[in-house]
Structure 1
Amino acid sequence: MTTLGILHPGSMGAAVAAQAKRTGATVLWCPEGRSGASKKRARRYGLAAATDLSEMSQRCEVILSLCPPANAEEVAAAVAAESFSGVYVDGNAISPARMARISAIMLPTGAAVVDGSVIGSPPSESKTPRLYLSGPESALVAVAHLFEDTAVEPHLLAGGIGKASALKLAYSSYQKTSRALAAIAYALASDHGLQDELLDIATGRTTSYLAETAYIPKVAARAWRWAPEMREVADALDEASLPTELAEAAASVMERWVDSRDEPLELSEALAQLHKLPQD
């Protein structure tokens, strides 16, 4: 039986970690410094509380980091400070260069570092996200085994550290930018009283995000997480000598929604906030 540590149980992290319980793993989390919402999620999914990060590092064979991208290195450094020597999986939406820095942070501890990325919605009875993994083969197999026959589908990638991160950001660069562009297009049409006409055009193309106006408030509520991810996309594009302007522009758009963190907005409210500058 494997003991898995999750840092930290947000909506994705808690749901993914809970799937490992189905394969018999014990799942630990650290309540220290966490919000009431995190504690509620941990109770909902039946996660066991560790006293602190030191206990988690001692008890766990595998630690999975799923946190906001900007905190990924900080979380890795905290785990490294506890001399964790198991399998450290960074599943965050970060650039390959940042993933390489995290691997370097963990190197002195002797831990096996796995580059991971989750693509899809949190796992449930109806949703099955993919967990892409790259890094040392033996560590990949161990992590994949944790999610065998669960609502999380492991996919192993050849090529080592950085591959899973690159795939995530390649997908995000289209998926999340498209959502932001759809919001801008709908806001412009709405300003001119043409929203129905735009929808008529869009619904004739079943793959268009423009037809999914109900999703725009969800984008606004998630922008506090998505904007930093788009900054990471820009970093990854820059590393590859590709244009970064679209990813940076998408982040700037999303930053107009950062005060709506996880708030259920009406469509009209989400569109109105696009007219405001972040400092307004």
Structure 2
Amino acid sequence: MGQAIAAVLNQNGLKTIAALDDRSERTRQLAAAANIQDVGSLTQLVIESDLVLSVLVPAAAAEVAKQVAEVISNVGKQILYVDGNAIAPQKVKRITQLIESSGATFVDASIIGPPPRVSGRTRIYASGKQANELQQLQNYGLDIRVIGDEVGQASGLKMSYAALTKGLTAISTELLIAAHRLGLDEQLWNEVSSSQPELAAILTRSIPSMTPKAHRWIGEMEEIAETFKAVGLTERTFYGAADVYRLVKDTSLGKETPEERNRKSASHTLREGPLSEIITILSDETAPN
């Protein structure tokens, strides 16, 4: 996601940089492919930036914000920090306090849709008193939509939306594995294809593309659980969804990179065949002893 956002900004005339010290070779290759310049350290990144956009796995959001806040305090530079991570509103508010105490300004953002490689498919929602500053990136190829001046609104929208999309993928993955183990996968899929053709089409796309991302979605489900708990709803549904993604993460499919999965998916026709194969692998590799 970060690579694709940077590529759009680069193509529209902005310079993007990243602090790639201690990052993986894959991350370095993705950055180079998008024309993102490696400045090495977070200190150098803050020195050279006007805006820092944090797009990470949810578990890393708070720690990276803490590190950046320390650098901002030491450097003494006025900067805009945008948290675009899939995290609970209450966590975003804690990060806001951390960033603003360093002297920087803060915007809460949420990214809905795929990486913005195709125009019109990705929205970045923003909230907070400085959200209009982020909206200036609309002039550089991104779809930025300000929805309010309260930090937590953008993240709350992301949590609610991802609960639908990624929650549905988790539930569907689990029930398809269950049907496979009951010897009813063909009968179930025939029924879904017949009575719920729109759902069948969604699952045929979403489950194959989910497997290499499952490790990232564990934390996202946990953030949704905490979001729902904070508003008086049960957190159990999405801790269960996190368990499904935890199961997928440890399979051979979960260990693939998105690039590997895309290459394999491209070699199939978009029918139930590839999905059936994926469910069989997931079922066999996670079967109890």
- TM-score, length basis structure 2: 0.85
Alpha-carbon displacement from aligned partner over 1:13-49 (angstroms, at most 9, x marks no partner) = 1101221223321101112011001100011100111
Partner of 2:171: 181
CA distance in 2, matches of 1:51, 1:72: 19
- 1:261 and 2:255 aligned: yes
**C-alpha displacement of 1:126:** 5.9
Alpha-carbon displacement from aligned partner over 1:240-269 (angstroms, at most 9, x marks no partner) = 011111111111111112222345485121
Runs of 4+ with >3 A deviation: 261-266
Partner of 1:144: 135
Q: 2:24 aligns with which of 18, 23, 35?
A: 35
Q: 2:102 aligns with which of 103, 109, 116?
A: 109
- 1:208 and 2:175 aligned: no
**What is the number of residues matched between the two proteins?**
263
CA distance in 2, matches of 1:40, 1:215: 26
Change (3 A) 1:127 1:191: farther
- Greater mean deviation of Cα atoms: 233-242 or 185-194: 185-194
Q: Is the contact made by 1:68 and 1:92 (CA closer than 8 Å) also made in structure 2?
A: yes
Structure 1 unmatched ranges of 5 or more:
1-11
CA distance in 2, matches of 1:214, 1:158: 33
- 1:219 and 2:219 aligned: no
Q: Is the contact made by 2:192 and 2:199 (CA closer than 8 Å) also made in structure 1?
A: yes
Partner of 2:270: none
Q: Is the contact made by 2:221 and 2:241 (CA closer than 8 Å) also made in structure 1?
A: yes
Partner of 1:119: 112
- 1:238 and 2:229 aligned: yes
Change (3 A) 1:187 1:60: same
CA distance in 1, matches of 2:144, 2:239: 30
Select the structure that is richer in helix.
2
Q: Percent identity?
A: 28
CA distance in 2, matches of 1:149, 1:80: 26
Structure 2 unmatched ranges of 5 or more:
265-276
3-state SS, counterpart of residue 198 of structure 2 = coil
3-state SS, counterpart of residue 102 of structure 1 = helix
CA distance in 1, matches of 2:168, 2:215: 17
CA distance in 1, matches of 2:283, 2:202: 15
Partner of 2:68: 79
Partner of 2:12: 23
CA distance in 1, matches of 2:200, 2:245: 16
3-state SS, counterpart of residue 232 of structure 2 = coil
CA distance in 1, matches of 2:119, 2:44: 35
Q: Is the contact made by 1:223 and 1:261 (CA closer than 8 Å) also made in structure 2?
A: no
- Greater mean deviation of Cα atoms: 76-85 or 204-213: 204-213
Change (3 A) 1:209 1:156: farther
**C-alpha displacement of 1:213:** 3.9
- Greater mean deviation of Cα atoms: 30-39 or 121-130: 121-130
- Greater mean deviation of Cα atoms: 214-223 or 193-202: 214-223
**Cα RMSD (Å):** 2.0
Amino acid at match of 1:87: L
CA distance in 1, matches of 2:154, 2:200: 25
Q: 1:53 aligns with which of 39, 42, 58?
A: 42
3-state SS, counterpart of residue 139 of structure 2 = coil
CA distance in 2, matches of 1:97, 1:209: 35
Amino acid at match of 2:100: L
- Greater mean deviation of Cα atoms: 262-271 or 245-254: 262-271
Q: 1:130 aligns with which of 119, 123, 127?
A: 123
- Greater mean deviation of Cα atoms: 174-183 or 119-128: 119-128
3-state SS, counterpart of residue 16 of structure 2 = strand
Amino acid at match of 2:171: L
Alpha-carbon displacement from aligned partner over 1:175-206 (angstroms, at most 9, x marks no partner) = 11110111122112222332222122212323
Change (3 A) 1:149 1:29: closer
Partner of 1:153: 143
Partner of 2:181: 191
- Greater mean deviation of Cα atoms: 140-149 or 68-77: 140-149
Partner of 1:5: none
CA distance in 1, matches of 2:284, 2:202: 19
Q: Is the contact made by 2:120 and 2:143 (CA closer than 8 Å) also made in structure 1?
A: no
3-state SS, counterpart of residue 93 of structure 1 = coil
Q: Is the contact made by 2:181 and 2:283 (CA closer than 8 Å) also made in structure 1?
A: no
- TM-score, length basis structure 1: 0.87
